[in-house]
Amino acid sequence: MKKNIAIVAGGDSSEIVVSLKSAEGIYSFIDKDKYNLYIAIVKKEGWAVKLPGGEHTPIDKNDFSFRENGEVKHFDFAYITIHGTPGEDGRLQGYFDLIGMPYSSCSQLVSALTFNKFVCNNYLRSFGINVSDSIRLFKGQTVTEEEAVSRLGLPVFVKPNDGGSSFGVTKVKEASQLQPAIAKAFAEGDEVMLESFISGTEVTCGCYKVEGKEVILPLTEVVTKNEFFDFNAKYNGESDEITPARISPELTEKVQREASKIYDILGAKGLIRVDFIIEANGIPKMLEVNTTPGMTATSFIPQQVRAAGLDIKDVMTDIIENELQKVGK
């Protein structure tokens, strides 16, 4: 009997539009001969499953079940593709742990850790991973232009500490721009991170590990037409994404080893993507870890899977079956 798979999308952040696009991508990637697929929309105002006819039916939060044609149906697995709260910060993972539902992404702890950029970077720094210097601010806290510039220099990136898709991010080139940038970032969340600028070649590396198998994907080089890799560069074609990256095999292997090491340090699960800047000295410096990477047809991970000569359908099956086997399904 085919297993029922929930592709869980939506969320309560500005990234909902990206999440819904990723859900469509994942729906197209998963093997429909093996699984029954449903898109489940999880938002503050309600949880619902989108049925094949397009109508929505409520989800019973007691067990994540739903009704179709009068029959109660249960999911066997959840593929989480919510970018932001509650699917990327550990909240939904905790819920699925409580009801015994296997899911695609990292654990509650790892999701919460990686979603907080400042905490994640400093945690990984303690294991010898190269990261930028940074300052964290909570709402109500301030930093003067003099303090920020003396510690981090210029330019400096100001970003929400717990957000993604470059919402609320500013590249500050002059000290006078700092306070407006902080206010913009606080509009997206309760914490803000100021991060020193790194000059170099930006690359990103996807990877996943399942029982008896490790897949470290080719690198994608990111060449933005804007000041940095912002929302328009990511989703509106205002960047060149080159897979595989135009760097030496030795440097490629170095970055891939670093991504694999970060996966293991974190105890990650499922597909993740790690972003780096390779400085002029050839040392990769980690920017951030994405435990719920974008999965539209043109996102980095599908690009890298194609470049590796793999079938994205097989990758999805690997991840689903690895988790189902853990619970004996």
C-alpha closest to that of 217 among 293, 279, 157, 160: 293
pLDDT digits (tens, 9 = 90+) for 79-90: 999 998 999 999
Give 12: exposed, middle or buried? Use CB within 10 Å, 0-12, 13-18, 19+. middle
Q: Are 218 and 259 in contact (CB under 8 A)?
A: no
C-alpha closest to that of 205 among 272, 113, 115: 272
Q: Are 287 and 277 in contact (CB under 8 A)?
A: yes
Beta bridge partners of 43: 46
The Cα–Cα gap between 39 and 5 comes to 8
Beta bridge partners of 278: 201, 284
Domain with CATH 3.30.470.20 in the chain: 113-129+199-326
Domain with CATH 3.40.50.20 in the chain: 3-104
Q: Which CATH architecture has domain 113-129+199-326?
A: 2-Layer Sandwich (3.30)
Q: Which CATH architecture has domain 3-104?
A: 3-Layer(aba) Sandwich (3.40)
Give residue 233's pLDDT.
Answer: 46
CA dihedral 219, 129, 190, 154 (to 10 degrees): -80
CA dihedral 14, 59, 74, 84 (to 10 degrees): 10
Give residue 297's pLDDT.
Answer: 87
Rg of the Cα atoms in the chain: 20
**Half-sphere exposure of residue 172: CA atoms within 13 angstroms, side-chain side:** 28
Per-residue pLDDT of the chain (329 residues; tens, 9 = 90+): 999 999 999 998 878 999 999 999 999 999 999 999 999 999 999 999 999 999 999 999 999 999 999 999 999 999 999 998 999 999 999 999 999 999 999 999 999 999 999 999 999 999 999 999 999 999 999 999 999 999 999 999 999 987 654 578 999 999 999 999 999 999 888 999 999 999 999 999 999 999 999 999 999 999 977 564 444 444 455 679 999 999 999 999 999 999 999 999 999 999 999 999 999 999 999 999 999 999 998 899 999 999 999 999 999 999 999 999 999 88
- Asked if the 134-196 domain carries CATH number 3.40.50.300, the reply is no
* Interstrand relation of 35-43 and 3-10 (parallel, antiparallel or unpaired): parallel
Please, what is the angle between helix 16-29 and helix 312-326, to 10°? 90
Beta bridge partners of 3: 35
The Cα–Cα gap between 313 and 35 comes to 12
Residue 47 parent element (H or E): strand 46-50
